[in-house]
């Protein structure tokens, strides 16, 4: 009798366990179906479905602490949004570490020096737009000192470092609003990733932050970076893990007491230093305000800096004023201009500088 009772209990335990496993399996299947039907490709990444890939080597610092590209190399950049390649570019750097097929040196021809970020460099373009513009005007030199992810302090340090290496009469600061908030950083390649480390942060501190990009071989097949068909539950887990990492970063930054609000970080202090340095050498300075994708959508700039820039003795040109920008000039997901957008920016800069073909 006792054995019979034990047998019944064991049978019930097996049935109950089987029922729990079956219920759990059904729940997973239903969850997978719901994710596929109602969530879709948003689960491909934790930050707007975006993955950025750079070839290595990529960026380095000069003696002034400014960041530029590694000289005389081919830089490959790939962005993937929602498991689709948005752009895949290969840009050559010259002898000074900037996107151009020409080397930069002191020449008899006069020139114009452009300082800025990725919009200046031409990230995302089939061909960087400033070298393309320069091809139309062989009697002058247009120096492209644009470097991705940099801000106004890097602009100043780059100018400080290269000001005596080139022949120019005009300095053009090509800036988006975000550049005015960016602090100085240095590049760190580690764990197959590229990190942008704040100037005073240690290697160990920097490695705790989220990498900016994954490092790849220059000749990689871009399609191999796409995620094959996989369970959406796995994608959801990856998204949750990424969001938790982001939350941890935000909590860690709560102690940051830097000024936030309608005024840009540093209040144009390094823009003023560029003007001061250029004035000593008798150079003209212009500030060309390129609109970000979000600003085009809103119809206005994040910062109203017109008067402050002019008070510094700098000519201010907001491209969005009196010129029509629209979303077709930018990538569908990425914030950079596409070839159409860069061509339009180039035409506006051409008019501002009153470039004329001989």
pLDDT the model gives residue 348: 98
Q: What is the mean pLDDT of each run of 10 residues along the chain (358 residues)?
A: 58 79 78 64 55 96 96 97 92 98 92 98 98 95 98 97 95 97 96 96 95 96 83 64 61 47 75 97 97 96 96 98 97 96 98 82
- Contacts of 222 by beta carbon, 8 Å cutoff, 6+ apart: 78, 85, 88
- The first and second tokens of residue 6, run together, are 């034990």
pLDDT the model gives residue 43: 56
pLDDT the model gives residue 48: 45
pLDDT the model gives residue 239: 61
- The Cα 237–Cα 32 span in angstroms is 12
Asked whether the beta carbons of 165 and 105 are under 8 A apart, the reply is: yes
pLDDT the model gives residue 41: 57
pLDDT the model gives residue 17: 84
pLDDT the model gives residue 251: 64
pTM of the full predicted structure? 0.82
Strands 74-81 and 67-69: unpaired
- The Cα 179–Cα 291 span in angstroms is 11
Closest CA to 100 of 144, 63, 140, 51: 144
Strands 193-198 and 185-190: antiparallel
Phi, psi of 49 (to 5 degrees): 70, 25
- The Cα 50–Cα 83 span in angstroms is 8
Conformational region of residue 149, where left means phi above 0, alpha means psi within -120 to 50, and beta covers everything else: left
- The Cα 94–Cα 31 span in angstroms is 52
Asked whether the beta carbons of 122 and 146 are under 8 A apart, the reply is: yes
End-to-end CA distance of the chain: 110
Q: What is the CATH number of domain 104-183+264-352?
A: 3.40.50.1110
Closest CA to 217 of 98, 90, 100, 94: 90
pLDDT the model gives residue 37: 61
Segments making up each domain of the chain, as ranges: 2-38, 104-183+264-352
pLDDT the model gives residue 27: 79
Could you count the other beta carbons within 10 Å of the beta carbon of residue 239? 19
Half-sphere exposure of 177 (CA within 13 A, CB side): 21
Closest CA to 265 of 193, 170, 198, 346: 198
């Amino acid at each position: 009798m006792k054995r019979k009772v034990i047998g019944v209990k064991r049978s019930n335990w097996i049935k109950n366990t089987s029922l729990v496993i079956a219920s759990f399996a059904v729940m997973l299947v239903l969850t997978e179906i719901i994710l596929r039907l109602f969530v879709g490709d948003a689960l491909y990444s934790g930050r707007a479905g975006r993955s950025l890939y750079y070839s290595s080597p990529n960026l380095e610092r000069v003696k002034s602490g400014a960041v530029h590209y590694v000289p005389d190399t081919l830089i490959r950049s790939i962005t993937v949004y929602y498991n689709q390649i948005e752009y895949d570019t290969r840009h050559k750097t010259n002898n000074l570490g900037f996107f151009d097929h020409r080397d930069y040196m002191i020449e008899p021809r006069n020139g114009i020096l452009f300082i800025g970020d990725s919009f200046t460099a031409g990230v995302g373009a089939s061909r960087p737009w400033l070298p393309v513009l320069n091809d139309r005007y062989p009697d002058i030199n247009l120096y492209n000192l644009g470097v991705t992810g940099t801000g106004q302090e890097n602009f100043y340090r780059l100018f400080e470092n290269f000001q005596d290496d080139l022949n120019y009469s005009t300095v053009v600061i090509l800036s988006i609003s975000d550049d005015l908030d960016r602090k100085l950083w240095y590049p760190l390649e580690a764990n197959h990733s590229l990190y942008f480390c704040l100037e005073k942060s240690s290697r160990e501190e920097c490695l705790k932050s989220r990498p900016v990009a994954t490092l790849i071989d220059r000749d990689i097949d871009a399609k191999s970076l796409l995620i094959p068909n996989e369970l959406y539950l796995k994608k959801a887990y990856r998204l949750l893990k990424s969001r938790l990492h982001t939350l941890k970063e935000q909590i860690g930054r709560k102690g940051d007491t830097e000024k936030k609000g309608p005024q840009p970080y540093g209040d144009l202090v390094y823009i003023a230093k560029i003007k001061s340095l250029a004035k000593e050498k008798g150079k003209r300075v212009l500030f060309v305000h390129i609109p970000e994708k979000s600003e085009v959508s809103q119809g206005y700039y994040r910062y109203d800096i017109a008067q402050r820039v002019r008070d510094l003795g700098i000519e201010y040109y907001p491209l969005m004023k009196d010129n029509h920008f629209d979303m077709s000039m930018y990538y569908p997901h990425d914030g950079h201009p596409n070839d159409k957008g860069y061509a339009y920016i180039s035409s506006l800069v051409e008019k501002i500088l009153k470039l004329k073909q001989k």
